[in-house]
Amino acid sequence: MKTLIIAEKPDMGRNIAAAIDPRAKNNRTYIEGEQYIITWAIGHLIGLAEPDAYDDRYKKWNINDLPIIPSAFKLVPNRKTYDQLKVIKDLAKRCDSLVNCCDAGREGQYIFSLIQRHLKLKQPVKRLWISDLTPETIRRGFAELRDGSEYDNLTKAATARSEADWLIGMNGSRAFTTRHNVLLSVGRVQTPVLALIYDRQKTIETFDSLKFYEVEAQFEQFETSYRGLWQGDRMTDPKKAEAIAAKVKGKTGRIASYEVKEVKEYPYKLYDLTLLQREANGKYGFSAKKTLDIAQALYEKHKVISYPRTNSNYVTEQNIPEMHKALASLQGTQYDEWVKGANRGLVHKGNKFICNPAKVEDHHAILPTHRKASGLSAEEAKLYDLIVRRFLSQFYPAAEYKSHTVLTEVEGETFKTNVKELLSLGWKAIYADQKKEKGKKKDEDAEEEEEVAEPFSVDDKSDVLCRNAQSKEKETQPPKPYTEGTLLKAMESAGKQIEDEEVRDAMKDSGLGTPATRAATIERLKNVGYVTMQGKKIMITQKGRTAIELIRAAGVELLTSPEMTGMWERRLNEIARGSASDEQFMENVKKFATMIVEKVRQQSRADIKAFEGDAPAAKGKPRRTVARSGEEKPASARGVKSKSAAGRSKAAPAAGAGQSGGETSGEPRTVAACPRPGCGGQLFMGRKGYGCSNYRTGCKFVIWKESFGRTLTDAQIKALAEKGKTAKLKLVLANGSQSEGRIVLRSLDNGELGVEQA
């Protein structure tokens, strides 16, 4: 009999076949040779069963039926991929041994174990454990196959993670939904991610800006001119700043200190999936999901990049020859000039900035393959270009600079200058044809640095003339709303602030979610109505706000913290090493799931108005909730009436509908309480403005969206309603002139606005 090889994906199966049995016959769903039959899963072929598989009463959501804790979890095939599962079943009957060739990691181990359990495969198992799919690596891996039993503890950890997620997601979602009669989704990863967005939004809304003043001086010495910033405590008194500027202007000073040092900037790390998603979002506005989809097409359809769902920025020694091949294949393409300038000697196994096998787990960094790209769509070409340029930069030397730090003293006042003088572009030559990217946002105390291409120097023995000096008004700024790119970074680094060192260490290489699941988590938050997009900005909805507030108020705030994921990861790592019990872990999870239900059961039901302002479901589609991690359930199948829609018989006004007679299209979004004394209504966003929900009973308060040349945002409306004014903005006045100032609320009765000029 033959040996059945089960890979995780079709392309992986084909690569294995090409490496170990190139003459094997391709039968579409499997490849057969004299010794091996190679087939594959298509990701997860099998999942955990729904609650109604255990008892029909769970078809309806009822808090009295909670918690749902199966004594043993049932498995069900994925209907979409059932045919491939049947192929594996039939092929297994013809084989007396198995090789698990799924990804070398926890999820790959779990995919194989589910197939093995569901199909009741009893054949002995060997395990292929490799991190890349080069022919040499595959052949060496098959020469060093390990016994499948060596990975039993990893299987236990993977199974425990999946079943624990089911218990928390299923019981948490059903408990909060049935208690508050609004579909509320809870999950170990998505809930703390939503909390990140919630906390950022609250910080922005409650931020009080502070005016401060800087003095900037312009200096001249011989042929050199440079700027310097006054050094001292932050000034909040404009008169003091003006006095310093007047004091030094036109006066002669001296160089108090001058330091020069050479600095090298090395190429950025190769891409993992999260870094690629972040940069594609910042540069092209691609969502995380869109980047993943495009990368998958480049990998599966065009075969021009390596496996994209990786969490590593490094390669192994075996990848180095492949990188050199890929470089050679780029000759004659649009990258030909950079290929000619490449130094192949820089990419070698001793370069730990590139080659670090200890930091490669399931898959190495994303690389271009040696196949020439053709027929790419415009968006595919953009993403491919990002990957190729990052790859090519590794074959170039560091960019070199001279860093100049000058302290200039005039009339007892000290000014600091930082100049970065370019000596050699190095790898940055690959990006010289692109517009310079905006740098990272610095805080108000960060030192400014001017980059120059021409030589810079000063003589610390000669006098300096302060040609000019002026006071500049500045204002502290709140943090920016998350974009998908910055949220991905926050998810990746979540847990770094956790005090418990062991828990923090458990998360240092994982964060919230995995590179392959983070895009799906963000999409899920959109789909359940917790967040909405305003351009690139991710904004939390009223439903999302209320969900976080209810979870925290119930006394299960651990659900909103990365700490729970950290604690789980620590324990799962111990289970995988054999130093902790998966049974004890699951007992603790069951207790936590039971506690969630009990806490929610004691909670007072939220006022339905607290959820108003949800994004409407797409036309013709039922509103959906995530019943557990990664599984969506339509409300219509759950026996729960969603009062977020049905509980309201009348729409809120559009543009203060009492004035215009307009109606909203879809469900209105509440942004703040109506500030009219004694009203008690809520301000809702309509088509042209923000009107009060009590317009039918006579409230005439409305703020028009288009005011003073601005399209007001929800945050600005909230600031007007709660503080009576916005932050400083660039405005267009009634006479058509432009001015800086704050929009202020002139009338609490009808929402009339005015301008307070700066």
Active site residues: 307
Closest CA to 364 of 520, 137, 41, 161: 137
SS3 of residue 543 by DSSP: helix
| Cα 501 to Cα 570: distance, rounded to the nearest angstrom | 11
My answer on whether omega of the bond before 238 falls inside 30° of 0, hence cis, is: no
Element of type H or E holding 484: helix 484-493
Listed in order, strand segments (DSSP E) in 591-673 are 624-628, 631-634, 669-673
- Rounded distance between C-alpha atoms, residue 440 and residue 278, angstroms: 13
Number of neighbouring beta carbons within 10 Å of residue 396: 20
- Tell me the DSSP string of 174-231: HHHHHHHTS-----TTHHHHHHHHHHHHHHHHT----EEEEEEEEEEETTEEEEEEE-
Helix or strand holding residue 248 (H, E): helix 238-248
User: How far is residue 569's CA from residue 333's CA, in Å, rounded to a whole number?
Assistant: 45
Amino acid in position 126: K
Neighbours of 635 (CB within 10 A): 20
Radius of gyration of the chain (CA): 31
Q: Are 49 and 63 in contact (CB under 8 A)?
A: no
For residue 420, give the H/E element and its range. strand 413-424
Burial call 691-700: b when 16+ CB within 10 Å, e when fewer: bbbbbeeebb
Cα three-residue angle 568-569-571, rounded to 5 degrees: 65
Q: Are 145 and 608 in contact (CB under 8 A)?
A: no
Question: Residue 660: exposed, middle, or buried by beta-carbon count in 10 A (0-12, 13-18, 19+)?
Answer: middle
In 3D space, the residue among 89, 4, 94, 78 whose CA is nearest the CA of residue 42 turns out to be 78
Q: What phi and psi, each to the nearest 5 degrees, are found at residue 308? A: -85, -20
Secondary structure element (H or E) that encloses residue 730, with its range: strand 729-732
* Residue 484 burial by Cβ neighbours in a 10 Å radius (0-12, 13-18, 19+): buried
Nearest to residue 239, comparing CAs of 269, 213, 200? 213
Q: How far is the C-alpha of 274 from the C-alpha of 276, rounded, in Å?
A: 5
Torsion angle in degrees (nearest 10) through CA of 158, 163, 168, 170: 140
Which amino acid belongs to residue 398? A
CA distance 71 to 706: 59
Residue 405 · residue 460 · CB < 8 Å = no
Residue 682 has a CB neighbour count (10 Å cut-off) of: 24
Residue environment code for 329-357, b if the CB has 16+ CB neighbours within 10 A, otherwise e: bbeeeebeebbeebeeebbebeeebbbbe
CA angle at 735 for the pair 729 and 739, rounded to the nearest 5° = 25
Question: Which spans in 602-707 are helix H?
Answer: 643-646, 657-660
Q: Which residues 6+ apart lie within 8 Å of 291 measured at CB?
A: 276, 277, 280, 281, 383, 519
How far is 692 from 250, CA to CA, in rounded Å?
58
Distance CA 593, CA 304 (A): 45
